Amino acid sequence: MSVRIAILIFDGLTALDAIGPYEVLSRLPEAELSFVAKEPGLKRTDTGALGISADLAITEIPDPEVVLVPGGEGNRPLLGDDEVLAWLRIAHESSTWTTSVCTGALVLGAAGILGGKRATTHWAYLGRLRELGAEPVAERVVEDGKIITGAGVSAGIDMALTLAARISGEKVAEAIQLGIEYDPAPPFDTGSPQKAPSELVELIRSQEG
């Protein structure tokens, strides 16, 4: 039995938000993973330096078992895009898991999926998440029923390993973690606003939002 996974992409996405989870979830034995977009074709990332192919239109995969929405400044137009939001709402009705990484949660929120739900996003956007009806939680991976949200960018890897265990069991997720040698050793201790010096936090906050 296959598990159809749809990762929604768009111009201006943050690549690692999508590719971190892709690298984990595509290794599930049952995975049938597709990158989808409103219009298929090449999407440029937020830096402009990378093009990623959306192989399918969202209309071609109305009922994936797993939906994943990544972040990036390019997803802000989706917050008012009726076609994309309707696709998400309908996909969420039949999905097994509805997920996001980073500001992808804002799109889930705009679709009305996060009302009253515990959810997370990039640390600089937790306030926006509340405006969209969610209960923001400053944790790396947040589960509320079938909704799993990850914090900023690199948190998609942790989110996806958590999700992999839910889909295929812990043994499979543990093997994938070993396969991608995910034994992180960050060279600095500045990966969260709680740990980083306040001037760095203000710098990033001024660039985001």
203 scored as a contact of its own copies (CB under 8 A): yes
Per the listing, tokens 């265990």 go with: 165
Q: Which of 1, 185, 198, 206 binds its own copies (CB under 8 A)?
A: 185
What residues have CB less than 8 Å from 136, skipping those under 6 apart? Answer: 119, 120, 121, 126, 127, 129, 130
- Which 100-129 residues touch its own copies, going by CB under 8 A? 102, 122-123
Question: Among residues 76, 79, 118, 192, which is the contact residue for its own copies, using CB under 8 A?
Answer: 192
Give the phi and the psi of residue 178 in degrees, each rounded to 5: -70, -40
DSSP state of 27: T
Nearer to its own copies, 104 or 193 (CB): 193
- Tracing tokens 């944790």 back to the chain, one arrives at 139
* Of 93 and 208, CB closest to its own copies: 208
Cα–Cα distance for residue pair 69/83, rounded to 1 Å:
15
Q: Which of 89, 127, 146, 195 binds its own copies (CB under 8 A)?
A: 195
- In sequence order, what are the residues at sequence separation of 6 or more whose Cβ sits closer than 8 angstroms to the Cβ of residue 26? 5, 33
Q: Which residues bind its own copies (CB under 8 A)?
A: 14-16, 19-20, 22-23, 26-27, 31, 33-35, 42, 47, 49-53, 55, 102, 122-123, 140-141, 151-155, 157-158, 161-162, 165, 170-171, 173-175, 177-188, 190-193, 195-196, 200-201, 203-204, 207-208
